[in-house]
Amino acid sequence: MAHIELNEIAHSYLKNPKDESDYALKRIHNAWDDGGAYALLGPSGCGKTTLLNVISGLLTPSKGRVFYSGKNVTDLPPEKRNIAQVFQFPVLYDTMSVFNNLAFPLRNRGVEESEVKKRVLEVAEILDLTPFLKKRAAGLAADAKQKISLGRGLVRSDVAAILFDEPLTVIDPHLKWHLRRKLKEVHDQMKLTLIYVTHDQVEALTFADQVMVMYEGEIVQIGTPQELFENPKHKFVGFFIGSPGMNFLACSVDSNIARVDGAGIVLDDNTAALAQKAQGKMEIGIRPMHLEVHTKSVKGSLPAKVKTIEDQGSFKILTVTMAGHTLRARLPEDQTMPSGEAWLRFPKRWTKLFADGRLVNK
Amino acid sequence: MEKWESNKAWFLVLPAFIIVAFSAFIPLMTVVNYSIQDIFGPGQSVYVGTEWFKEMLGDHRLHDALWRQFLFSGLVLLIEMPLGIMIALAMPTRGWGVSACLVTLALPLVIPWNVIGTIWIIFTRPDIGLFGVGINSLDLLEVPFDHTAKPIYAWITLLAMEIWHWTPLVALLAYAGLRAIPEAYYQAAKIDGASSWAIFFYIQLPKMRGVLTIAVLLRWMDSFLIYAEPFALTGGGPGNTTTFLSIYLVKLATMQFDLGPAAAFSLIYFVIILLFCFVFYQALLNVGRGEKA
């Protein structure tokens, strides 16, 4: 069990990094509570795996320190840290049986054989691997293999945290939910800290209590799935989370009105007050789900042209153009669809203002 | 699916079939034809049935050559495989060292067989060769080193030649196998606290099985067919101590002109190699496979 703390971590794969773009991790200063389930979400190449390897000790960061429950472990190799890691592809010792695979980390540490047997049987029971114990690991299906990889982490009684690096990539879709549920079960049962790397927002949002969104080597927002959806702190979060992503319109702010090429959108008073001091490129953002679409003009609505309507089954995606900008709206199936002309209303509560990509708020 | 009415497409296979027939099947059948006849001269031959086969199978010179051959090929495999794997493990994985190692390793592989023979004859000569003169100047050996002097010297020279020539092939294959192991395996092993021995036995060796199978087969076949090196070195001597199967075969066929027995011998030779390749292939394919899930 451990509380993991990253202190001013930065990492570059180059020997002599010159400017910021040479860093795979720019500045990570963050703590993971003991027993929490965290997801690291971000696009490919944003530094998720690098960060995970820094935590597990496979990489020594160029700058900064790593603490486990207050102890500095920055220079300790992975086998000296109480950590387990599950990789994207199942890593097995092909020539060994499932039992020996699970026993391997214990035997390497010189644990007594009776204790090894006890632990392996326990873990096999939790992961439903008992019937396979005598079989060779190489012949099993991908999901069983991935469970073995996880099991090798769980057998160690001293393990503090388990790190997952996109562990469901090679699993068939119909088994994914099953394995994900197993992970949650294991988490509830063993109270381990879990850190789960993924680029799949559904996976991240269903698995974790806290989601950290990474973008270009930085953690841009940490929050519950709901916070990320309703209050994206960074343009990237708005764009990456939700399907389709947030609508963004470049604007200029004029007291409490955001002007988008002739169209005026009213901002709420707090945002408007803060916007007076904000610097940089201004954009307003609104979730497709929060954008109101009317078939005729209502108070505070702006005219737009309907381009396409996509039927997605339980909802419809409407693409409109307003003052030369394209916007998407997500409408419930039963709502009457406008044709040709539509009127859009931007509810104040959901209309967010971004300055240079960052949310304007307190 | 409907059956095609016209099967003319089969004719497209014909060119390949004809080429294979000329390159493999027809020459082989000529040998089969020779092996059942006693040939006195052009156009003069008598059908003898399986007589040559019986004679060759009972020929003690063939037996001797066969045991010599087994010993030689066995030693070659025993030395070249571990040595090749060790070299591959010691090779760098990045930087300029990789290219340097690969080129150096590949050098012996591009030298023709009989040139290798000549190089080693000169190298080991007791009068001018670096090795020959060097070892004799130490004055350690009872009989001064000369590959024509004692059978053991001839064998050492031959083995050294063979190992120098072909270990790089094993090393290159093993290196390719090692490079194909994903980084995650090493990372997982680190986290599991595995020692370097455990990494070798449980990750590297199993993952190299495919390429090592090919290496064993190639080295077995090639060393079993060895001809140019002993021919260049001593022509099969001293005595008959380096007369391997192919040397004996050539003596029989072209020096004594016993075409019938030589043909029978060739076929026996062919079957032995085929048999061993099959055995090795099956053994390596199934080694450590155990119970299937």
Helix (H) or strand (E) holding B167, with range, is helix B151-179
Nearest Cβ partner for B203 among A85, A93, A108: A93
- Residue A250 to residue A244: CA distance in whole angstroms: 19
Enumerate the residues of chain B whose CB falls inside 8 A of the CB of residue A84. 191
Distance from the Cα of A222 to chain B's closest Cα (Å) equals 28
B203 touches chain A (CB under 8 A): yes
Q: Strand, helix or coil at A7?
A: strand
Interface-testing mutation among A81, A83, A93, with chain B (most B C-beta atoms within 10 A): A93
Nearest partner of B233 among B245, B223, B247, judged by Cα: B247
Beta strand pairing call for A263-266 and A282-286: unpaired
- Residue B25 to residue A188: CA distance in whole angstroms: 69
A91 to chain B: closest CA residue: B185
Q: What is the pLDDT of residues B102-118, one digit of tens each?
A: 999 999 999 888 888 88
Res A258: pLDDT: 84
Enumerate the residues of chain A whose CB falls inside 8 A of the CB of residue B195. 108
- Residue B246 to residue B227: CA distance in whole angstroms: 6
Torsion region of A250: left, alpha or beta (phi above 0 gives left; psi -120 to 50 gives alpha): beta
Helix (H) or strand (E) holding A318, with range, is strand A315-322
A133 touches chain B (CB under 8 A): no
A56 touches chain B (CB under 8 A): yes
Q: What is the pLDDT of residues B155-182, one digit of tens each?
A: 988 999 999 999 999 999 999 999 999 9
Res B290: pLDDT: 46
Tokens encoding A113: 């054989």
Res B273: pLDDT: 86
Enumerate the residues of chain A whose CB falls inside 8 A of the CB of residue B207. 94
Res B85: pLDDT: 95
Tokens encoding B75: 């030693």
Is pLDDT at B285 greater than 80 in this prediction? no
Is pLDDT at B92 greater than 60 in this prediction? yes
A135 touches chain B (CB under 8 A): yes
Tokens encoding A86: 């599950």
Is pLDDT at B289 greater than 60 in this prediction? no
Distance from the Cα of B55 to chain A's closest Cα (Å) equals 47
Q: Which residues pair with A37 in a beta bridge?
A: A194
pTM reported for the whole predicted model: 0.77
Enumerate the residues of chain B whose CB falls inside 8 A of the CB of residue A108. 192-195, 198
- Provide, rounded to the nearest whole percent, the portion of chain A with pLDDT above 70: 99
Phi and psi angles of residue B142, each rounded to the nearest 5 degrees, phi first: -65, -50
Distance from the Cα of B238 to chain A's closest Cα (Å) equals 47
Res A362: pLDDT: 65
Q: Which residues pair with A10 in a beta bridge?
A: A63
Cα separation values, B115 from A87, B3, B103, B118, B165, Å: 51, 58, 19, 5, 11
Q: How many other C-beta atoms can be found within 10 angstroms of the C-beta atom of residue A237?
A: 27
Phi and psi angles of residue A220, each rounded to the nearest 5 degrees, phi first: -90, -25
User: In residues, how long is chain B?
Assistant: 293
Is pLDDT at B74 greater than 90 in this prediction? yes
Query: Which residues of chain A, if any, have pLDDT below 50?
Result: none
Output the average pLDDT for chain B.
Answer: 86
Nearest partner of B220 among B177, B274, B264, B172, judged by Cα: B274
A299 touches chain B (CB under 8 A): no
Res B204: pLDDT: 92
Distance of CA A276 to the CA centre of its chain: 32
B15 touches chain A (CB under 8 A): no
A135 to chain B: closest CA residue: B293
Q: Which residues pair with A325 in a beta bridge?
A: A322
Nearest partner of A354 among A264, A255, A246, judged by Cα: A246
Interface-testing mutation among A86, A87, A132, with chain B (most B C-beta atoms within 10 A): A87
Is pLDDT at B292 greater than 70 in this prediction? no
What's the ipTM? 0.77
Name which residue leads in pLDDT, B291 or B31. B31
Cβ separation B187–A85 shorter than 8 A: yes
Tokens encoding B88: 């591959």
B190 touches chain A (CB under 8 A): yes
Res B293: pLDDT: 33
What is the layout of strands, in order, in the sheet containing A83-86? A83-86, A161-165, A193-198, A37-41, A210-215, A218-223
